[in-house]
Amino acid sequence: METVSKAKSHGGVQGVYRHASKVTGTPMTFAVFVPPQAANGPVPVLWYLSGLTCTHANVMEKGEYRAAAARHGVIIVAPDTSPRGETVPDEPDNWQFGSGAGFYVDATQEPYAANYKMYSYIVEELTALIAAEFPADMARQGIFGHSMGGHGALTIALKHPDRFKSCSAFAPIVQPSTADWSRPALEKYLGKDELAWRSYDAVALIEDGKRFPELLVDQGAADPFLKTGLRPEILADACKAAGIPLALNLREGYDHSYYFISTFMADHIAWHAKRLGL
């Protein structure tokens, strides 16, 4: 693991790191904030998964999470959103697919299957690296994310309720198999058989029997993607039918940007901290 940069912040350390990923076959960069409490022993881990077009840097620079993370004593891990490199298949003119748009799936279709393995990268490889290299209490993990990353957080938590003690999302794509801006990506990554998409669709996972103790979702009411790509009411209906407690906050006047995310970031971290035993 290579250290790209380190800076002291709120008594902790904000770092950026790079490693050669065996899962994606590419170098992968990620950010980790370690709070000051880690000097006394391992602390809980909160994973943040970013949205379309983002890298690790977007939330690191705009998310305003460090003060809350330092106050509660939680590590924040911010991975990249896709493999990158000259040899990685991409559609440079399509912001909804390829570079910056890994959708947290393991691709099965060529030519994407060799590199686009973001699900396994997050759940297996990067998890093992965080456990080995940082003062992380891996028995206390939470996960959250934004938009495409909210989709990723929900699906990963639903498939691993034994690992994650908390899950929340900002403006998640709750049913990517039916949303206009995600269906084309799922078809390219996973093939035309829509049954293969269900394991990467939060609403479908709930319909198919997956459960999580409770969920928190914040959604901007002025989000331009609200009615076509996000549709939180579908998740609300699925959770109600399954008996999963869902706190869904529709925030008047807020859009899809980091102005929205940063406004409610501290609330989410406090919510996770309580469920992580802090």
Per-residue pLDDT tens for 76-133? 999 999 999 999 999 999 999 999 999 999 999 999 999 999 999 999 999 999 999 9
User: Where does 162-226 have alpha helices with state H?
Assistant: 183-190, 202-207
In whole angstroms, give the CA distance from residue 251 to residue 244: 21
Instruction: Write b or e for each residue in 246-274: b if 16 or more Cβ atoms lie within 10 A of its Cβ, otherwise e.
Output: beeeebeebbbebebbeebbbebbebbbe
Residue 181 pLDDT: 84
In whole angstroms, give the CA distance from residue 101 to residue 182: 10
Cβ neighbors of 73 (< 8 A, separation 6 or more) are 35, 36, 37, 38, 43, 44, 273, 278
Query: In the predicted model, what is the mean pLDDT of residues 239-252?
Result: 98
The answer to whether residue 26 scores a pLDDT higher than 90 is yes
Active site residues: 147, 223, 256
Which of 197, 148, 185 is closest to 48 using CA atoms? Answer: 148
Per-residue pLDDT tens for 133-168? 999 999 999 999 999 999 999 999 999 999 999 999
**How sure is the predictor about 170, in pLDDT bands with cuts at 50, 70 and 90?**
very high
In whole angstroms, give the CA distance from residue 68 to residue 111: 41
Residue 278 pLDDT: 87
Rg (the chain; Cα; Å): 17
The answer to whether residue 251 scores a pLDDT higher than 90 is yes
Beta carbons of 31 and 14 less than 8 angstroms apart: yes
Global pTM value: 0.97
Phi, psi of 59 (to 5 degrees): -70, -30
Percent of the chain past pLDDT 90, that is, above it, reads 99
What is the overall mean pLDDT for the chain? 97
